[in-house]
Amino acid sequence: MKFKDLIPWGTARGSVAVKHGDNDPFTALQRQINDVFNGFFRGFDMEPFWGGGIGFNPSVNVLETDKEITVTAELPGMDEHDLDVTLTKDMLSLKGQKKAEKEDKGTNYYHMERSYGSFVRSIPLPCEVDDAKVEAEFKKGILTIKLPKSPEAVKDTKKVQIKAG
């Protein structure tokens, strides 16, 4: 293993830190800390002063085939009007707010595992896409964005022949 591989910020392509989902200890720790703070304010029947905005951070998958890139995000409880998707040359941004349902006074919480708040995710795209043909669909709490690769990007892939020695 090279020394560079040990440095956590030297990873992958693009400028955005990659969250590793289920088993990344840092994400788990951050969520636990958020949960403690949110729970603290809820315990006093108050809204956190940042509006509960640090809780929700949707998970994103990016899959690539020969012709297109598919980005999916888990956004349960949101609808398409709460979402804002923007595309620049090499970056896809998802913005939105998941609102907490207002409950009446005098309710007791037994379990608080779901998270709310606003979020911004920027996803660096592995190659150029044809921005006229991008399609987004929101169904069953999952946002799916299909980004066909631009003709140049498809063409640029060259197969390198390996000669037998």
Partner 1 sequence: MADTVDIEKKEAQTTDGTEHTREVKVYHPAVDIVEKEKEILLTADMPGVDDKSIDITLDKNVLTIYGKVDPNVPQQYQASYVEYGIGDYRRSFTLSEEIDRQRIEATVKNGVLKLVLPKAEAAKAKKIEVRAA
Q: Is 122 in the site for partner 1 (CB under 8 A)?
A: no
Instruction: Please report how close the Cβ of residue 164 comes to partner 1 at its closest, in angstroms.
Output: 27
For residue 68, the SS3 value is: strand
Instruction: Please report how close the Cβ of residue 1 comes to partner 1 at its closest, in angstroms.
Output: 22
Would you say 33 or 163 has its CB closer to partner 1?
Answer: 33
In contact, 136 and 144? CB cutoff 8 Å: yes
In contact, 95 and 25? CB cutoff 8 Å: no
Among 93, 141, 152, 156, binds partner 1 (CB under 8 A): 141
Q: Is 133 in the site for partner 1 (CB under 8 A)?
A: no
Query: Residue 41: CA atoms inside 13 Å, Cβ hemisphere, count?
Result: 14
How large is the greatest C-alpha to C-alpha distance in the chain, in angstroms? 79
Residue count, binding to partner 1 (CB under 8 A): 50
Q: Is 114 in the site for partner 1 (CB under 8 A)?
A: yes
* Torsion sign over Cα 41, 78, 143, 49: negative
Would you say 114 or 133 has its CB closer to partner 1?
Answer: 114
Residue 44 φ/ψ, nearest 5 degrees: -95, 10
What is the binding site for partner 1 (CB under 8 A)?
Answer: 12, 18-22, 27-28, 31-32, 35-36, 39-40, 43, 59-66, 68-70, 74-79, 101, 103-104, 106-115, 123, 126, 140-142
